[in-house]
Homo-oligomer: A and B are copies of this chain.
Amino acid sequence: MTRLTTHRREPLADLLRAVPEFTPEEVTVALELADQALEASGKGDGDGDGDSDGYRFLLALEDERVTGYVCYGKTPMTAGTFDLYWLAVHPAHRRRGVAQRLVRAMEEELLREGALLVRVETSSAAAYDATRAFYDRVGFERAGLLRDFYKAGNDLVIFAHRLRPAKTGV
Taking Cβ atoms with an 8 Å cutoff, the residues of A that contact B are 23, 25-26, 29, 75-81, 116-117, 119, 143-153, 158, 160, 162, 166-170
Q: How far is the CA of A117 from the CA of B168 in the complex (A)?
A: 34
* Copy total for this chain: 2
The residue in chain B whose Cβ has the minimal distance to the Cβ of A76 is B29
A81 contacts B144, CB within 8 Å? Answer: no
Instruction: Given A143-B144, A144-B143, A144-B144, verify A78-B149 contact (CB < 8 Å).
Output: yes
Instruction: Given A25-B77, A153-B168, verify A145-B146 contact (CB < 8 Å).
Output: no
* Chain B: minimal CB distance from A40 (Å): 16
Q: How far is the CA of A167 from the CA of B144 in the complex (A)?
A: 22
A170 contacts B152, CB within 8 Å? Answer: yes
7 additional A-B pairs beyond A147-B162, A148-B168, beta carbons within 8 Å, are A29-B76, A29-B77, A79-B151, A119-B149, A144-B144, A144-B146, A152-B166
* Chain B: minimal CB distance from A163 (Å): 11
Q: How far is the CA of A145 from the CA of B119 in the complex (A)?
A: 11
| 12 pairs, CB–CB < 8 Å, chain A vs chain B | A77-B150, A79-B150, A80-B151, A81-B149, A117-B148, A119-B146, A143-B144, A144-B145, A146-B160, A148-B168, A152-B170, A158-B158
Q: Could you say which of A117, A151, A162 has the most chain B C-beta atoms within 10 Å of its C-beta? A: A151
Q: Which residues of B contact A153 (CB under 8 A)?
A: 166, 168-169
Q: How far is the CA of A23 from the CA of B77 in the complex (A)?
A: 9
